[in-house]
Structure 1
Amino acid sequence: MTPVAISIPAIGVHHTLLSLGQNPDGTLEVPPMSDVAAPGWDRDSPVPGRVGPAVVLGHIDGTSGAKGVFYALGALRPGDTVSISRSDGTVAVFRIDGVNTYPKDAFPTLTVYGNTTNPQLRLITCGGRFDHATQHYLDNTVAYATLTGTHPS
């Protein structure tokens, strides 16, 4: 069973999911900049709906100025829902618990990726100030969510 699509009605996200892994240097692969509308699931994280923090990444924008799939991630509020459709024909539904922004140089790896005792979801994108010299955002925005249930699609 793998996640195949994501829906976040509060911010207008409805998209299929890519499968992402690790780069040769051990860092987390991100979706290609050639399609900033495409989010991806970290296949080394739990399947959404299983115990642990499932991780989905998406871009905030692209080099052409196009808005990315998670452009409005920071606008999510506690209680908003995220649905993940899975390859077995079921949908895992999560409730947003909160959204935080962290400096990339002080990213709380254990808080975001550490084991949990229940099924959780982490939605991650870039955020904060854009450094024109490096062409990168200085922060990451992370939305935290908890599974509320599953149902047939």
Structure 2
Amino acid sequence: MGVRVSGQSGRRLGTPALAAALVLGAWLVHDGSTGGLPPTPSVAEALGAGPSRHALTGIPMKASAPTRVRIPALDVDAPVTGVGLDTGGHLATPPDDQRNLAGWYRDGVTPGQTGTALLVGHVDIASGPAVFYGLGALHRGDRIDVARRDGSTAYFLADAIEVYPKTAFPDRQVFGQARDPELRLITCGGGYTEGEGYRGNVVVYAHLTGSRRA
């Protein structure tokens, strides 16, 4: 499942800005009943609820594709695959039968580079909860580690966890290119309607705090 490009005037194919148009509603859900609804972020974790930075921003890294994402607080340890656009002009997603797999928008920056890197994942699949099921339970200051193809690791801290309705998703805020190395994790959430699926998206905002070089 993906989101059509149409209606996004002024955005060029393959740019990070275009990703804002593409990711909304891109993570499919089959019935919303496999294991119960996922956690919803607390208002205490929202943007503006506290300091915007828990540590100084790390030194930007050179480009290198992500290979694995680890979120210790959620016991997430998952491989990462690149995703782009399908033949219909939609943002592709990780395979629907792969529970423990995240996707990186490969036409954007890599995690650790200056800018806004995007990692996406299913909240659930037909067989049950999936890789990003627990994103809504994260807290500000929780760690996110991204291993990269060159052998390095980028270390991020969560700044905020928000949930947005798909009908009012703040695409510029979420996907606009940051001046520092930042990361967004995105999945479905925000309540569930039978026949329509999840009504929103959970977004984790994070910033680079350090790295381990190859």
**How would you bin the TM-score normalised by the shorter chain?**
over 0.9
SS across alignment from 1:29: coil
Q: CA deviation at 1:26?
A: 3.3
Greater C-alpha Rg = 2
Whether 1:110 aligns to 2:172 is: yes
Alignment-derived partner of residue 5 in structure 1: 68
Partner of 2:134: 72
Residues of 2 paired with 1:130 and 1:35: CA distance? 22
From 86, 97, 100, the equivalent of 1:23 is: 86
Distance between the aligned counterparts of 2:113 and 2:96, measured in 1? 29
Q: Structure 2 CA distance, aligned partners of 1:41 and 1:102?
A: 21
CA distance in 1, matches of 2:159, 2:88: 32
Q: What SS does the aligned partner of 1:7 have?
A: strand
- Calculate the aligned-residue CA RMSD, in Å: 1.2
| Letter paired with 1:13 | V
State how 1:20-99 maps to structure 2 within 5 Å.
20-64=83-127, 66-99=128-161
Q: Which has the higher contact order (CA 8 A, sep 6+)?
A: 2
Deviates more, 1:143-152 or 1:16-25: 16-25
Deviations 1:87-115 (A, max 9, x none): 11100000000100000111111111101
Structure 1 residue ranges without an equivalent (≥5): none
- Aligned mates of 1:27, 1:141 — CA distance in 2: 20
The yes-or-no answer on 1:151 pairing with 2:212 is: yes
| Structure 2 residues not aligned, in runs of 5+ | 1-63
Q: Is the 8 A contact 2:97 2:126 kept in 1?
A: no
Identity %: 41
* Structure 1 outlier segments of 4+, above 6 Å: none
TM-score, L = length of structure 1? 0.94
1:35 partner SS: coil
The residue number in structure 1 matching 2:184 is: 122
Letter paired with 2:207: T
Classify the secondary structure of the residue corresponding to 1:147. strand
SS, match of residue 116 in structure 1: coil
Q: Give 1:138 deviation, angstroms.
A: 0.7
Offset, 1:49: 0.3
Distance in 2 (CA, whole Å) between partners of 1:37 and 1:90 is 22
